[in-house]
Amino acid sequence: MERSSAVAVVVVAFLIGLLTSEIAAEIAQNSTEFYRIGRRRSPPQSLCAQLIEPSGYSCSELTIQTKDGYLLGLQRVSSRSGDLRTQQGPPVLLQHGLFMAGDAWFLNSPEESLGFVLADEGFDVWVGSVRGTRWSHGHVSLSEEDKEFWDWSWQELALFDLSEMIRYIYSTRSSKVFVVGHSQGTIMSLAALTQPDIAELVEAAALFCPISYLKHITSKFALRMVNMHVDQMILAMGIHQLNFRSEWGVNLLDSICDGHVDCNDLLTSITGKNCCFNNSRVDLYLDYEPHPTSAKNLHHLFQMIRKGTFSQYDYGLLKNLRLYGQLKPPAFDLSLIPESLPLLMACGGNDDLADMTDFHHTLKELQSTPELLYLENYGHIDFIVSVKAKEDLHDPVIRFFRSWGKSSSS
């Protein structure tokens, strides 16, 4: 294999934050094997059957339909000693980040994975996967081959996907829902919570690597992609699905890396230094990640970086005027999130994607004062796969939820 191709595949893994700098060096010595792993697809089974039930947990598969016709996968998980039919713990919805899906919450051991930990603590765990990911189920009329299928960004993921998940869980349990989001899952959560009809269904939210503004990110790789206008080039090429397991995806990442970014230390270049990554589970991680997203979604995220705004998708002056009735896209007003809605925000000192300057911008716009958890050594992906997450992150989140869970448990 050419060295450039091997480097491109390394980039794939780093885009979802699943490798350390040390692992990257090891992979460089055995690039052919890594290429095989990185391009491997998991058997076409359900998330329950493939990842959750083998660990001894009860799990059921559900499908819900959004208002714009997408069919989303939703899993419900209880503890190894529990029964889904009699599950009465407070409901909690786990919302994954970019290029991930619901499997992200179960990739470590049961003692280290938040989905398993919450189930063992008696919570009624619901796991969401947004449109386009492999655990969701398409659309009522569109095929994944249709460009219209991919005509969405995190705006729709927030206002349609996440909102519908919350409504469904609330209607099923007749109880307010706890929400946990990571990375893009926090963008979706914050946007959705500005909608009064959604906020009133949520008991409290825990946001890992919270993002509403991206103006001050320091990720060298992400900034290089922004400066190269990779998002705009992809759209101009007529590419609507971003699938970094595909041949063109590998080639695209290769071209970004070639001569522009030090691809021997991409974890630091993309996410910041992660302290607590489980090196031994790389093969398993790469069985599941990355999941597809839309080119429009990437473009929307890059708009946030370039403009420093937390706004709806910018179509340009004329289409904005037609769709929004104004020249600029409307902003999501964080002050609309109710002051009474409890928030926990967990940040990492080494996170180059969720920058502290942008985080403080978010705090200034909120009416409430969130509970803050600052983990100095954590990078962006430690919040999902840290081997120390139980003590550092999961236990504080559980204490936070229980302190606000009176109405859910009544």
- 360 catalytic per annotation: no
From the candidates 380, 382, 386, 392, give the one annotated as an active-site residue: 380
From the candidates 113, 136, 153, 183, give the one annotated as an active-site residue: 183
- 183 catalytic per annotation: yes
HEC profile of the chain? CCHHHHHHHHHHHHHCCCCCHHHHHHHHCCHHHHHHHHHCCCCCCCHHHHHHHHHCCEEEEEEEECCCCEEEEEEEEECCCCCHHHCCCCEEEEECCCCCCHHHHHCCCCCCCHHHHHHHCCCEEEEEECCCCCCCCCECCCCCCCHHHHCCCHHHHHHHHHHHHHHHHHHHHCCCEEEEEECHHHHHHHHHHCCHHHHCCEEEEEEECCCCCCCCCCCHHHHHHHHCCHHHHHHHCCCCEECCCCHHHHHHHHHHHCCCCCCCCHHHHHHCCCCCECHHHHHHHHHHCCCCEEHHHHHHHHHHHHHCCCECCCCCHHHHHHHHCCCCCCECCHHHCCCCCCEEEEEECCCCCCCHHHHHHHHHHCCCCCEEEEECCCCCCHHHHECCHHHHHHHHHHHHHHHHCHHHHC
- 351 catalytic per annotation: yes
Query: Would you say 268 and 28 are in contact if contact means Cβ atoms under 8 Å apart?
Result: no
Burial of residue 41, with CB atoms counted within 10 A of its CB: 0-12 exposed, 13-18 middle, 19 or more buried: exposed
From the candidates 103, 231, 351, 355, give the one annotated as an active-site residue: 351
- Measure the N-to-C terminal CA separation of the chain; round to a whole number of Å: 60
- Specify the amino acid at residue 181: G
The dihedral formed by the CA atoms of 77, 82, 87 and 90, expressed in degrees to the nearest 10:
-70
Catalytically active residues are 183, 351, 380
